[in-house]
Structure formats: structure tokens, C-alpha cells
Amino acid sequence: MKTVTDTTHCDDLMKALETFRDRGPLIGRWGTELARRLGAGSRLLVAGNGGSAAQAQHLTAELVGRYRDDRPPFSAVALHADTSSTTAIANDYGVQEVFARQTAAHGRPGDVLMLLSTSGASANLLSAADRAHRLGMTVWALTGRAPNPLQLGADEALCVDAPVSATVQELHLVAVHMLCEAFDRAVERGEADRDSGARVDGEALARPLGRARTVGRPVDGTPVTRGKEQA
């Protein structure tokens, strides 16, 4: 027997999914660009809190392992997965620095930092985004409803229009799988190009994307406003 809660949850998910379909081109472009970056030697850093941490680690597992078909492994690191570093930084510098300090340690110009947050207001993710920009990295975000601080602090953001965190997280998982599918297609195309004798300019591929979609970021480079710590 269906309950009101079951029906409401499914209705919320279906409604959010309808608007989410329009995000396909953005996710496809991210997957293609990520394949270009990682194929040229850059890496992906990912972070989130709570359920978003699980989604972030799901993404890195698909890239280091595989999504569907066999292919070479690619460098993708879930920052929260290093529990010793995370807890040491939280103890010595505060929770707000747990991802920013790891980004400073592992990030390089041309790398990508992807941040997942249902609220879009997690202080430790905002700090990481600011640090990544200082390093010349590109920042992508998966968030809940717009506008939110993380959306404004990222180069590009995919914002899920849903009323509850559970639905946002479910669509973030859909986005992760779509990203992996686009990534694998781009890798396959790249291998086909190499087989046909095409050559790729590695320096151009590693060059950071422009910030065409950066909105609300101060021109003087000051950090974005940090919100209350949330998942």
C-alpha cells in the first residue's frame, strides 16, 4: 500500500527530473572537457559533505575504476576520503579548511575541482572553491536550488530545482552517471582519433576554461561569502 510520503517523494522526483533534462548539454560538455583535461595529465578533485560526500566518491570510483566498458584509469581524488588528513586539518585548522588545504596540496593549474552540496552554502566548500581559483583551477558545482553561494563562487554550476535534499541528491547521482557516460564517449572518440593518426595539443587541452558563467564573484578576487556549514 502506498503512503502519502511515498507518493510525494516520487512526485517530487519526477517533477524535478523534467526540468533536469534540460541540463543534458551542460553535463555532456563537462564530460568532454574532463576527458580532455585528464587525458592531458590533469586531475579531478571532488568534495562534499554527508550524502554529497558519498556522491562525490561515487564519481571518483567510476573514473579510477570504470563506468561501463573497460578503459584506462584516470586521476580522480575524493578529498574527504582521506580521513587522517581530513580529521587532522579539522583539528588543527578548523572544519572550514578541510577541503581548501587539501586542494592547495593536490591541485595544479588546469585541474578541475567539483563540489557537491544540496544547500550550496557549505563553508568548507566555498573555501575550497576560492583556493582552487587562486591556483588556476576550474571549479564546477552540483547544488540544490539557485541562487546559492556555491553557484556564484563556481565557474559553472548545475543547480537542481527540488524542494528537499533527498531529491537533490538523487538527481546529483543521475548527473554523475551522465557525466561518466559523456566522459567515456569522449575518451572513446579520442582513442579513435589517435588510431587514425590525429595528434592532440596537450598544452591547449590543459588550459583552464574561461569563467563565462561565473556570476557574483568580486573582481578583486576576494573570497565569496561563506554560509553556515551544511551538507
For 93, residues 6+ apart whose C-beta sits below 8 A from its C-beta are 101
Tell me, yes or no, whether 175 lies in a domain: yes
- Nearest residue to 174 via CA among 58, 72, 15, 42: 58
How many Cβ atoms from other residues are within 10 Å of residue 109's Cβ? 12
Average pLDDT estimate for 40-56: 98
CATH number, domain of 56, equals 3.40.50.10490
Average pLDDT estimate for 218-222: 37
**What's the pLDDT band for 193 if we cut at 50, 70, 90?**
confident
Tell me, yes or no, whether 94 lies in a domain: yes
Tell me, yes or no, whether 197 lies in a domain: no
Q: Which structural domain, as residue segments, surrounds residue 185?
A: 27-189
The pLDDT of residue 25 is above 80: yes
Continuous H helices in the chain: 4-20, 24-39, 51-64, 83-93, 98-106, 123-135, 149-153, 165-195, 202-206
**Residue 214 has what pLDDT?**
37
In eight-state DSSP terms, residue 208 is P
The pLDDT of residue 229 is above 50: no
Phi/psi for 77 (5° steps) reads -125, 125
Could you give the strand order of the β-sheet that contains 138-143, starting from the edge strand earlier in sequence?
76-78, 44-48, 112-117, 138-143, 156-159
Average pLDDT, the chain: 87
Asked which of 11-20, 39-48, 212-221 is least confident by mean pLDDT, the reply is 212-221
* The length of the chain, given as a count of residues: 231
Largest CA-CA distance found in the chain, in angstroms, rounded:
60
**Residue 151 has what pLDDT?**
98
Percent of the chain with pLDDT over 90: 77
Average pLDDT estimate for 176-181: 98
Tell me, yes or no, whether 122 lies in a domain: yes
Tell me, yes or no, whether 217 lies in a domain: no
Average pLDDT estimate for 32-51: 98
Tell me, yes or no, whether 180 lies in a domain: yes
**What's the pLDDT band for 170 if we cut at 50, 70, 90?**
very high
Asked which of 73-87, 154-168, 206-220 is least confident by mean pLDDT, the reply is 206-220
- Structurally, the chain folds into a number of domains equal to 1
Tell me, yes or no, whether 223 lies in a domain: no
Tell me, yes or no, whether 208 lies in a domain: no
**Residue 73 has what pLDDT?**
98
Q: Is 90 exposed, middle or buried (0-12, 13-18, 19+ CB in 10 A)?
A: middle
